[in-house]
Amino acid sequence: MDIKGKKAVVFGGTSGIGLAAVRQLAEKGADVIAISRNPDRATDVPAGVTLRAGDVRDEAALQGLLSDCAPYDILVSAATGGDRAVGPFLQMDMAGFRGSFDKMWGYANVVRYGAQHLPETGTIVLVSGAPARKIKPGQIAIGSVGGAVEAFARSVARELAPRRINVVSPGQIDTPMVALSGDERAAFYEKATAAHIIPRAGSADEVAKGILFAIENDFVTGTTIDVDGGWLAP
């Protein structure tokens, strides 16, 4: 796919990985709509990008929003859906565990109601995470959700064809989701990535490059692209 002149809709497009994808799409000449639950708080969004408010968990409102944005060629969702439960599963509040799956339900809604507005050459990219296949302590909920996202994309790819769907799976990425700052933030990422082949946190831009690869390569569908610093390697 030649991105120039295409229309892209990016959920979670005002911060972190989603914002990085918005910037790279805009740089390549796409007409980009960035969707967030709180677009009024958005900063650093490139000039010319359209901001819209939307919640991937609200099915009725989402259907209307996608219809308003249509037609489009590229659909990306990096929306987290809500809070993520962490900690040992056997001590976990089950409401928190269920709530972690808001990300999966949000992705399912985006694909269900968004695919109908894509042309046959259109493409969808979802963002998962390395815990889907290799977890660290306390990541049972996060890993379960990521595994569901990846299985969903593989399963629905044939039904969506010739439209394409892929997943990009980040490892430990330096994004605003980690609320630490200064030396405390640096120490957190140093410890979190000490066992990685590339012993540092990745950047949102590096993950966005994986998203752009999935968009541009017409011979890739139903797969997961890892951008994880070698965390998944044996």
Give me the half-sphere count of Cα atoms (radius 13 Å) on the Cβ side of residue 13: 28
Asked whether residue 209 is assigned to any structural domain, the reply reads yes
The answer, yes or no, to whether residue 230 has pLDDT greater than 90, is yes
Strand runs labelled E in the chain: 7-11, 31-36, 50-53, 74-77, 123-127, 164-170, 173-174, 202-203, 224-227
Query: pLDDT-derived band of residue 2, with 50, 70 and 90 as boundaries?
Result: very high
Asked whether residue 197 is assigned to any structural domain, the reply reads yes
Query: pLDDT-derived band of residue 40, with 50, 70 and 90 as boundaries?
Result: confident
CATH number (domain holding residue 165): 3.40.50.720
Max mean pLDDT among 42-56, 83-97, 130-144, 203-217 falls in 203-217
Asked whether residue 232 is assigned to any structural domain, the reply reads no
pLDDT (0 to 100) of residue 78: 95
Angle between helix 59-69 and 102-114 (nearest 10)? 40
Distance CA 64, CA 201 (A): 38
Q: What is the pLDDT of residues 138-187, one digit of tens each?
A: 999 999 999 999 999 999 999 999 999 999 999 999 988 787 889 889 99
The answer, yes or no, to whether residue 118 has pLDDT greater than 80, is yes
pTM of the model: 0.94
Asked whether residue 97 is assigned to any structural domain, the reply reads yes
CB atoms within 10 A of CB 9: 28
Query: pLDDT-derived band of residue 72, with 50, 70 and 90 as boundaries?
Result: very high
The answer, yes or no, to whether residue 81 has pLDDT greater than 80, is no
Q: Which of 80 and 124 is assigned the larger pLDDT?
A: 124
The answer, yes or no, to whether residue 43 has pLDDT greater than 90, is no
- Beta carbons of 173 and 207 less than 8 angstroms apart: yes
Q: Count up the domains in the chain and report the number.
A: 1
CA-wise closest residue to 145 among 126, 164, 161: 126
CA-wise closest residue to 134 among 92, 177, 185, 169: 169
Q: Radius of gyration of the chain from Cα atoms?
A: 17
pLDDT (0 to 100) of residue 183: 87
If you average pLDDT over every residue of the chain, what do you get?
Answer: 94
Q: Show the DSSP H helices in 78-219 as ranges.
A: 94-100, 102-114, 140-160, 182-192, 204-216
Strands 164-170 and 123-127: parallel
Asked whether residue 43 is assigned to any structural domain, the reply reads yes
- Mean pLDDT computed over 28-56: 94
Asked whether residue 89 is assigned to any structural domain, the reply reads yes
pLDDT (0 to 100) of residue 178: 80
Indicate the range of 24-28, 121-125, 129-133 predicted with least confidence.
Answer: 129-133
Distance CA 181, CA 184 (A): 6
Farthest-apart Cα atoms in the chain, separation: 51
Asked whether residue 233 is assigned to any structural domain, the reply reads no
Max mean pLDDT among 13-17, 179-183, 191-195 falls in 13-17
- For residue 202, the enclosing domain spans 7-227
Q: Which of 178 and 216 is assigned the larger pLDDT?
A: 216
pLDDT (0 to 100) of residue 162: 98
Asked whether residue 1 is assigned to any structural domain, the reply reads no
